[in-house]
Amino acid sequence: MTKPQDKLRGWAAARKAILSGLRFTSLRLRLVVVFGLVALTAAVSASGIAYWLNREAVLTRTQDAVLRDFQQEMQNRAGVLPTHPSQDELQHTAGQMAASSQRFSVLLVAEDESGRTVVGNSGALDPFSLADVPESLRTAVGKEQSITSNNKYPYHLYWQRIIDGDKPYLVAGTKVIGGGPAGYMLKSLEPEEKDLNSLAWSLGIATGLALIGSALLAQAAATTVLKPVHRLGIAARRLGEGKLDTRLRVSGTDELADLARTFNHTAEALETRVADMSARDEASRRFVADMSHELRTPLTAITAVTEILEEELDAETGSVDPMIEPAVRLVVSETRRLNSLVENLMEVTRFDAGTARLVLDNVDIADQITACIDARAWLDAVELDAERGIMSLLDPRRLDVILANLIGNALKHGGSPVRVSVRASDEDADGGGDLLIEVQDHGPGIPEDVLPHVFDRFYKASASRPRSEGSGLGLSIALENAHIHGGEITAANSPKGGAVFTLRLPRDPSALTETPAEPDGANGNGEGA
């Protein structure tokens, strides 16, 4: 049954995957955005130019036809009126003028014989009045121009586009030459505006379709480009995982094909080089293992002899000449050192060969540390700060090796008392947690230039250190034993003085002893992933 926490984690992981796929650093998204911006710019520019050209063409064509018709009506009908017409004459003439093919409203303005201004419009229901004519247009129409070689008429036709109640109109006016009424025309441009709005909607839809098409083309182009890149990324990851037989299928002659060929050549060269290095490393490990194994047989005999000599020395029976006693003790000491070195070399070869295995047991950490200290007679030199009852699943023998090396190193180079403290972290959601064991001495500490190398094999801080102080493999073996548990060892200097080695181990490393299942469909071909 799925837990709510698992569902939340699943949703969070899915959302993270989606967001990572849509991040702007994604090449696919950038290609789509760039294609979209280019298509949008081109479509908007083309639509804008097309709309502007069509708008000017439509309005100019309508405007020219209306003004030409109005001017013709003014000459044919208003021009035959008397100089001082009556209102009825103006009304009748305006109605005749408005009946033209362009269907515009007409307003005629003149003075009667008494000097009074009379106005006649194209119909009783026509709302067009003198107040609808802009003041600037009335002024221009009524102003008499001087007759020159370039200006043959005192009055001209003037026009203006206005907006009244959100509706566009064309207003024009002129005056009869030689005396007569002034005429004004009002033409609604609403039909043209509707046609232009329809055109704008059509261009907008075309722009949207172009944008969608560009996005689809960008997606197709991105897929074409990114699919080989994706295969290359998968192949590179497989190569990094150690699957050196990974190769890419090469097709085409473009730059991506050249990149795939280069990858294949590099992978082939790397596989050859790694195989050669592995063979040399295997031969070296086999030599060390064989040498260590062959040394054990004579060492067993030598050790037995040195033990007898040591017993004779300790018995003080006088059977050993006092002149050769120092030499005998040196042989005993060096034999023990050689025996320890051979055992360490065999342990190292097991780690290098990957044959070291955990034998887990649930143990009390305090009891385990106490047994390690007691077995080496360090009880007087070590202070233990560990509560009883801290249980952990680990390999007791390997933990003993780790503790013996850390505590022994602290006693040898830092001096007593050595403090060993144990802490257990809180259990996590999986029921595990970490075990922390700190080994601190009260010596001068570790030089800063030595700290990065304390776990290196055969490393010694001083080349003048006596040969009997060790082989330089103890801390390296301790670190390998920590790694096989899934843990780590760090070295540092305490602010209070002395060196501090911190061992961190998982309290339940049982997952490390399970053999991982081979994933389905695993193969060495990079293009199949």
Q: Answer for the pair 441, 429: CB distance below 8 angstroms, yes or no.
A: no
Rounded average pLDDT over 113-141: 80
Paired with 492 in beta bridges are 500
Mean predicted confidence (pLDDT) in 449-461: 80
**For residue 247, is it within any domain?**
no
Q: How far apart are CA 394 and CA 406, in angstroms?
A: 17
Are residues 479 and 378 part of one domain? yes
CA angle 87, 91, 94 (to 5 degrees): 135
Q: In the structure encoding, which two tokens stand for residue 389, read together?
A: 């009852």
Please indicate, yes or no, whether residues 333 and 263 belong to a single structural domain of this protein.
Answer: yes
pLDDT band at 127 (very low <50, low <70, confident <90, very high): confident
Give yes or no: residues 480 and 401 share one domain. Answer: yes
Q: Say yes or no: 200 and 225 in one domain.
A: yes
Amino acid letter at 504? Answer: R
Q: Which two tokens stand for residue 79?
A: 């021009």
Q: How far apart are the first and last CA of the chain?
A: 32
Does residue 525 belong to any structural domain of this protein? no
Residues 246, 267 contacting (CB under 8 angstroms): yes
Q: By mean pLDDT, which of 164-173, 261-270, 296-305 is the weakest?
A: 296-305
pLDDT digits (tens, 9 = 90+) for 323-337: 777 887 788 778 777
CA nearest neighbour of 306 among 334, 279, 264: 334
Q: Are residues 201 and 322 in the same domain?
A: no
221 vs 69: which has the higher pLDDT: 69
Whether 505 and 370 map to the same domain: the answer is yes
Judgement on whether residues 344 and 406 belong to the same structural domain of the protein: no
In a domain, 483, yes or no: yes
82 and 149, same domain (yes or no): yes
CATH number of the domain where residue 338 is located: 1.10.287.130
What is the sign, positive or negative, of the torsion defined by CA atoms of 334, 336, 339, 341? negative
CB 496 within 8 A of CB 367: no
> Is pLDDT larger for residue 370 or for residue 228?
370
- Phi and psi, residue 99, nearest 5°: -85, 10
- Residue 264 and residue 338 in one domain: yes
Query: Does residue 528 lie in a domain region?
Result: no
Which range has highest mean pLDDT (8-17, 337-346, 401-410, 450-459)? 401-410
Check pLDDT > 90 for residue 488: yes
Query: Is residue 318's pLDDT more than 80?
Result: no
Tell me the C-alpha distance between 232 and 224, whole Å.
Answer: 13
Q: Going by C-beta distance under 8 Å and a sequence separation of 6 or more, which residues neighbour residue 385?
A: 419, 420, 421, 422
Is the model's pLDDT at 401 over the cut of 60? yes
pLDDT value for 523:
42
Among the three residues 351, 374, 396, which one is the final residue of a domain in this structure? 351
- For residues 495 and 376, membership in a common domain is answered with yes
At 151 the pLDDT is 77
421 part of a folded domain = yes
CATH number for 145 = 3.30.450
From the centroid of its chain, how far is CA 363?
Answer: 45
What average pLDDT does this structure show over 456-475?
A: 63
262 lies in some domain: yes
- 489 in Cβ contact with 437 (< 8 Å): no
Domain membership flag for residue 250: no
- Number of domains forming the structure of the chain: 4
Largest CA distance in the chain: 168
Q: How confident is the model at residue 439 (pLDDT cuts 50, 70, 90)?
A: very high
Structural domain ending residue among the three candidates 333, 351, 369: 351
- Looking at 316, 351, 386, the residue that finishes a domain is 351
Query: Both tokens of residue 378?
Result: 């360090």
Which range of residues forms the domain containing residue 110? 78-188
pLDDT of residue 491: 92
Give the pLDDT of residue 244: 84
Residue spans of beta strands (DSSP E) within 268-377: 361-364
Residue 17: what pLDDT? 53
Residues 69 and 213 in one domain: yes
Percent of the chain with pLDDT over 70: 85
Higher-pLDDT residue of 367 and 354 is 367
Q: What is the per-residue pLDDT for 279?
A: 84
Is the pLDDT at 471 greater than 80, yes or no?
no
Q: What is the CATH number of the domain that holds 441?
A: 3.30.565.10
pTM, full prediction: 0.46
DSSP H helical ranges for 382-512: 396-413, 474-484
Domain co-membership, 123 together with 174: yes
| Cβ–Cβ under 8 Å, residues 469 and 412 | yes
pLDDT band of residue 524 (cuts 50, 70, 90) is very low
pLDDT tens per residue across span 28-40:
677 777 777 787 7
pLDDT score recorded for residue 421: 93
Confidence check: pLDDT of 502 > 90? yes
Going by pLDDT thresholds of 50, 70 and 90, the confidence category of residue 126 is: low
Tell me whether residue 68 is in a domain.
yes
